Amino acid sequence: MEKTASEKIKLGLFVIAGLTLFIFAVYFIGNKQKIFGNTDHITAVFRDVNGLQLGNNVRYAGITIGTVRGIEMINDTTINVDMIIDKSIFPHIKKDALASIGSDGLVGSMVINILAGKGNQSQIVPGDILQSSDRIRADDLLNTLSVTNKNATLLTADLLKITKEIT
């Protein structure tokens, strides 16, 4: 069965439209992940990455400035996280800045928040290693709450004894 010229033109237009859409999607996704931009990398050292994954956002002062490029476990207490950061942000981040891991909303994905340093240090350069601060985990909060509840139980029992003695 021979195809007519109009069918061949329609097929060609469909293929061109599909390729254009594919190229646009790749560029859009790559631009969002900072693949095609003017970027460089820095590293942060953590003891626990707590659910951090490749591609999670990196924020500085609430602004998304990059993404997590790699997570490498060095030993049982050291995990290096490699981040791709927009080069235009490098002059604003000082060498004494701290990196912490937080969540993006209540049940959102994890993000790395870079907290500003004192401001009297020099700016970071590509390849620098940032220090990290440990975040308070839900388990720690629950353990503290459990101890507080036990103390409150003891106090109320003692208060009950005292009020019985008074009456």
Q: What pLDDT is attached to residue 4?
A: 85
Q: What pLDDT is attached to residue 33?
A: 59
- As given in the structure block, the two tokens for residue 87 are 């080069």
State the residue for tokens 């701290």.
Answer: 98
DSSP type of residue 7: H
Judge contact between 119 and 90, C-beta under 8 A: no
The answer, yes or no, to whether residue 31 has pLDDT greater than 80, is no
Burial of residue 37, with CB atoms counted within 10 A of its CB: 0-12 exposed, 13-18 middle, 19 or more buried = middle
Say which residues have a Cβ less than 8 Å from residue 123's Cβ, sequence separation at least 6. 90, 91, 92, 93, 94, 95
The mean per-residue pLDDT over the stretch 93-109 comes to 85
Q: What pLDDT is attached to residue 106?
A: 73
Q: What pLDDT is attached to residue 32?
A: 65
The mean per-residue pLDDT over the stretch 66-82 comes to 91
Q: What pLDDT is attached to residue 114?
A: 92
The answer, yes or no, to whether residue 35 has pLDDT greater than 80, is no
| 102 vs 105, higher pLDDT | 102
| 142 vs 33, higher pLDDT | 142
* Alpha carbon of residue 58 to chain centroid: 5
Judge contact between 88 and 123, C-beta under 8 A: no
| 65 vs 133, higher pLDDT | 65
The answer, yes or no, to whether residue 138 has pLDDT greater than 70, is no
What's the mean per-residue pLDDT of the chain?
Answer: 86
The answer, yes or no, to whether residue 37 has pLDDT greater than 70, is no
At 58, the pLDDT band (50, 70, 90 cuts) reads very high
Instruction: Report CA-CA distances (Å) from 91 to 95, 127, 134, 139.
Output: 10, 14, 25, 37
The answer, yes or no, to whether residue 117 has pLDDT greater than 90, is no
